[in-house]
Amino acid sequence: MSARLNITVMLGGPSKEREVSLRSGAAVAAALRSLGHVVYELDPQDHNWSLPPQTDAVFLALHGTYGEDGTVQQRLEDLGIPYTGCSPEASRVAFDKVLTKRRCLDARLPTARFEVLTSASSRCPVGWHPPLVLKPVRQGSSVGLRFVERIEEWPKALAEALRYDTEILLEPKILGRETTVGILDGEALPVVEIRPKKGTYDYQNKYTVGATEYLCPAPFDSGITAKVQEVGLGAFRAIGGRDYGRVDIIVQPNGEAMILEVNTLPGMTETSLLPKAAAAKGLSYGELCQKMVDLAQERAAQMRR
């Protein structure tokens, strides 16, 4: 049994992913309490928050803007409090899909070609043809994601995506099997394959119970599995990640793995993808939460030396 700690779970927050974060945080808090820790829950609605004075460590169960973009991480660095997950800089890079893609390209990792759009009046660029994907550059959980299957859909899809950010990432729609690779303490976990029962893996299919089937370990041969894990770990290292995260990857029909994005604070509900991957590795949900706290505590101890 690890030492009994006073842990503050930060959950909720001001982002468009607030509801998911509340669910992640509640599950984490329950697990940590079951392990004997004293757990406080803090919902930072804005920047005017303060930690309980006896806090030994912070478990970040926030998602989206403020919680995942390096802002709260920098505040905790300034306070000198150990916290779970990636550094402020790695968080900032991973939350920005364009910065992430540039890091992947610099590391010679496979990711789709792209352009950045900033105006609702932008036309589909020359040389681009449906099917296409439009993504807000700085959002998560598929918030604002729009597909363009026919060119007539372009104006509406672009306007909808721009409701969620001032910059939109344009990519070709990559066809293949959708997967995700959890990363824990420098190791790639078993691959999860994501199979929506209808349509695409959008916000609704992601958070509607029973709408999507998850296979873990994903039914690939050993060579493709190893390649997906290698690419996922490479992307996580390229953004400067540490401790844990999750990398979304499409496996194309020819077996090539294409990086979609990196998540530095992946969902932590008990049905979320990182806990599923950890379970396939033999780690219970509580053990996973404890490992995340241990990694933060170990890092803080090393810095005090």
- Active-site positions read 17, 141, 207, 246, 248, 261, 263, 267
Q: CA dihedral defined by 70, 201, 157, 163, rounded to 10 degrees? A: -30
Cα separation values, 13 from 33, 59, 61, 64, 227, Å: 21, 14, 9, 9, 36
Phi then psi dihedrals of residue 112, to 5 deg: -70, 155
Residue 195 CB neighbour total at 10 angstroms: 13
Report the alpha-carbon distance of residue 241 to residue 38 in Å, rounded.
28
φ, ψ for residue 39 (rounded to 5)? -120, 130
Burial 81-98 (b: 16+ CB within 10 A, else e): bbbbbbbbebbbbbbbbb
Of the candidates 163, 203, 196, the one whose C-alpha atom is nearest the C-alpha of residue 178 is 196
Spatial CA neighbour of 135 closest among 155, 152, 115, 149: 115
Distance CA(188)–CA(263), nearest Å, equals 14
